[in-house]
């Protein structure tokens, strides 16, 4: 089986000259100071191509920090003006899409909980009709390749040709060292049926802790994935979300230095 996606190559919309492609930034935008300070340090590493930040956070249970909301889009705009880094946010509703587009966000991504819900994906896709913006689709939280493919197809059918997949691991009943099991075979299957689809690995949400991130990031590159999305925070110990897995910008730079790209087959 081959997946018939109408897509343009990653190099035509995100040609940063940096390999591997690294998207980084906080799990959540918390304050303007936190976002700007993190963005400046990330830009100074010279290793990061895109600044990410969650503005609307999909929390599993209510009562926790649910994202700073629309004001965070203004902080992102300022971070981009000051650092030159293009920005990326998660969108989960048509309203998120409209607000992110109005605020000049460069790249949108669909989160794992949204990918698991075809109604949500279709709502996002409908809001994207006639819009030319890159969209990255995370795998669904559950290990269901068809849902991931279906979400990519819905976004692509809406006319989005700058499209990529993000492998962030899958929830499993059995608890292991990982927060979300990588289940590499599912990502490999998707690569096999859609070889032209850029695939970005998210070791932060796979690992759930800082210590394992280098191993997962390297393995993703060894499997020929095109990029990494890694959460970073000016001071991870006080992060409002995902504190255990975020890296300081300095640690991110150190990791980026150690990663090796897969050698071309001879
Ligand atoms: C995130 O990127 O912060 C996030 C909520 O990720 P996921 O959708 O992979 O859980
Ligand atoms: Mn997170």
Name all domains of the chain by residue range, CATH numbers in brackets: 21-258 (3.20.20.70)
Which pLDDT tens digit goes with each residue over 103-152?
A: 999 999 999 999 999 999 999 999 999 999 999 999 999 999 999 999 99
25 Cα to the center of ligand 1, angstroms: 12
Is residue 154 lining ligand 1, measured as CB closer than 6 Å? no
The number of the ligand nearest the C-alpha atom of 114 reads 1
Nearest to residue 156, comparing CAs of 115, 123, 128? 128
**What is the model's pLDDT at position 262?**
79
- Rounded CA-CA distance 130/92 in Å is 18
Give residue 216's pLDDT band: very low, low, confident or very high (50, 70, 90): very high
Q: Residue 25: helix, strand or coil by DSSP?
A: strand
The number of the ligand nearest the C-alpha atom of 57 reads 1
pLDDT at 17 over 90: no
Closest atom, ligand 1, to C-alpha of 114: 8
Q: Residue 125: helix, strand or coil by DSSP?
A: helix
The number of the ligand nearest the C-alpha atom of 200 reads 1
pLDDT at 263 over 80: no
Which pLDDT tens digit goes with each residue over 182-208?
A: 999 999 999 999 999 999 999 999 999
- Rounded CA-CA distance 11/182 in Å is 26
Is residue 143 lining ligand 1, measured as CB closer than 6 Å? no
- Mean pLDDT of all residues in the chain? 96
Strands 107-110 and 21-25: unpaired
Q: State ipTM.
A: 0.99
The number of the ligand nearest the C-alpha atom of 66 reads 1
Section 147-173 average pLDDT: 98
* Closest CA to ligand 1's atom 1: 27
Token pair for residue 241? 């979300």
pLDDT at 240 over 70: yes
Closest atom, ligand 1, to C-alpha of 113: 8
**What is the model's pLDDT at position 15?**
84
pLDDT at 266 over 90: no
**Cβ atoms within 10 Å, residue 257:** 9
Section 58-75 average pLDDT: 96
Closest atom, ligand 1, to C-alpha of 57: 5
**What is the model's pLDDT at position 68?**
98
Section 258-263 average pLDDT: 88
- Rounded CA-CA distance 177/100 in Å is 35
Q: Residue 48: helix, strand or coil by DSSP?
A: coil
**What is the model's pLDDT at position 16?**
85
Is residue 86 lining ligand 1, measured as CB closer than 6 Å? no
pLDDT at 1 over 60: yes
**What is the model's pLDDT at position 264?**
63
CA atoms within 13 A on the CB side of 243: 7
Which pLDDT tens digit goes with each residue over 83-99?
A: 999 999 999 999 999 99
**What is the model's pLDDT at position 41?**
98
* Closest CA to ligand 1's atom 4: 111
Answering whether pTM is above 0.95, one says: yes
- Rounded CA-CA distance 44/39 in Å is 9
Is residue 203 lining ligand 1, measured as CB closer than 6 Å? no
Q: Torsion angle of alpha carbons 134, 28, 216, 237, nearest 10°?
A: 160
Is residue 111 lining ligand 1, measured as CB closer than 6 Å? yes
147 Cα to the center of ligand 2, angstroms: 21
| Placement of tokens 């390749």 in the chain | 145
Q: What are the b/e assignments for 32-70, b being 16+ CB within 10 Å? A: bebbbbbbebbbebebbbbbbbbbbbeeeeeeeeebbee
């Amino acid at each position: 089986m081959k997946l018939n996606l109408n897509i343009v190559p990653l190099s035509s919309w995100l040609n940063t000259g940096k390999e591997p492609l690294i998207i980084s930034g906080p799990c959540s935008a918390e304050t303007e100071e936190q976002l700007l300070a993190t963005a400046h340090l990330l830009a100074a590493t010279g290793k990061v191509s895109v600044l990410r930040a969650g503005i609307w956070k999909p929390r599993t249970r209510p009562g926790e920090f649910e994202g700073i909301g629309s004001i965070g889009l203004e902080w992102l705009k300022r971070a981009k003006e000051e650092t030159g880094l293009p920005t990326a946010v998660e969108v989960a509703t048509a309203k998120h899409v409209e607000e992110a587009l109005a605020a000049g966000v460069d790249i949108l991504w669909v989160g794992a909980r949204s990918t698991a819900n075809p109604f949500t994906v279709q709502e996002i896709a409908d809001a994207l009709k006639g819009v030319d913006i890159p969209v990255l689709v995370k795998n669904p939280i559950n290990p269901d390749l068809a849902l991931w493919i279906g979400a990519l197809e819905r976004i692509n059918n809406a006319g989005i040709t700058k499209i990529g997949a993000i492998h962030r691991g899958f929830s499993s009943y059995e608890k292991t060292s990982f927060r979300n099991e990588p289940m590499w075979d599912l990502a490999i299957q998707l690569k096999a049926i859609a070889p032209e689809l850029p695939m970005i690995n998210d070791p932060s949400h796979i690992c759930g802790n800082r210590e394992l991130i280098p191993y997962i990031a390297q393995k993703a590159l060894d499997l020929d994935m095109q990029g990494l999305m890694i959460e970073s925070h000016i001071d991870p110990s006080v992060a409002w979300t995902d504190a255990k897995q975020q890296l300081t910008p300095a640690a991110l730079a150190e990791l980026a230095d150690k990663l090796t790209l897969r050698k071309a087959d001879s």
